[in-house]
Amino acid sequence: MTARYSLLARGLLAAGLLVAVSAADAQNKIKVGFMLPYTGTYSALGTAIENGFRLYVQEQGGKLGGREIEYVKVDDESEPSKAVDNINKLIKRDNVDVVVGTVHSGVVMAMAKVAKDTNTLLVIPNAGARAVTGPMCAPNIFRSSFSNWQPGYAMGKVAGDRGAKKVATITWKYAAGDESVQGFKDGLKTTGGEVIKELTLPFPNVEFQALLTEIAATKPDAVYAFFAGGGAVKFVKDYAAAGLNKTIPLYGPGFLTDGTLEAQGEAAQGLLTTLHYADGLDIPKDKAFRSDYNKTYKAEPDVYAVQGYDAAQMLGAGLAAVKGDLGKRDALVSAIEKARIDSPRGAFTLSKAHDPVQDIYLRKVVGTQNKFEGVAVKSLAEPSPGCKM
Ligand code: PHB
Q: pLDDT at position 85, please?
A: 98
pLDDT per residue of the chain (389 residues) written in tens, 0 to 9: 344 444 444 444 444 444 444 555 545 999 999 999 999 999 999 999 999 999 999 999 999 999 999 999 999 999 999 999 999 999 999 999 999 999 999 999 999 999 999 999 999 999 999 999 999 999 999 999 999 999 999 999 999 999 999 999 999 999 999 999 999 999 999 999 999 999 999 999 999 999 999 999 999 999 999 999 999 999 999 999 999 999 999 999 999 999 999 999 999 999 999 999 999 999 999 999 999 999 999 999 999 999 999 999 999 999 999 999 999 999 999 999 999 999 999 999 999 999 999 999 999 999 999 999 999 999 999 999 999 98
The domain limits of the chain are 26-146+281-354, 149-275
Judge contact between 155 and 253, C-beta under 8 A: yes
Ligand 1 close to Cβ of residue 128 (< 6 A)? yes
Q: How many CA atoms lie less than 13 Å away from 176 in the CB half-sphere?
A: 28
Instruction: Specify the ligand 1 atom closest to the Cα of 128.
Output: 3
To test ligand 1's pocket by mutation, which of 35, 47, 76, 104 has the most ligand atoms within 8 angstroms of CB? 104
Q: pLDDT at position 18, please?
A: 47
- Separation of CA 304 and ligand 1 centre (Å): 10
149-275 and 26-146+281-354 share a CATH fold: yes
Judge contact between 347 and 340, C-beta under 8 A: yes
To test ligand 1's pocket by mutation, which of 42, 102, 103, 148 has the most ligand atoms within 8 angstroms of CB? 103
Atom 9, ligand 1: residue with shortest CA distance: 127
CATH top-level class of 26-146+281-354:
alpha beta
pTM: 0.93
Burial of 191 (0-12, 13-18, 19+ CB in 10 A): middle
Reported for 198-203, long-range contacts at CB under 8 A and 24+ positions apart, including other chains, are 198/168, 198/169, 199/168, 199/169, 199/170, 199/171, 200/170, 200/171, 200/172, 200/173, 201/172, 201/173, 202/172, 202/173, 203/78, 203/104, 203/106, 203/172, 203/173, 203/174, 203/177
Q: Where are the beta strands (DSSP E) in 5-78?
A: 30-36, 63-64, 67-75
- Separation of CA 6 and ligand 1 centre (Å): 61
Q: pLDDT at position 80, please?
A: 98
CATH number of 149-275: 3.40.50.2300
- Separation of CA 275 and ligand 1 centre (Å): 12
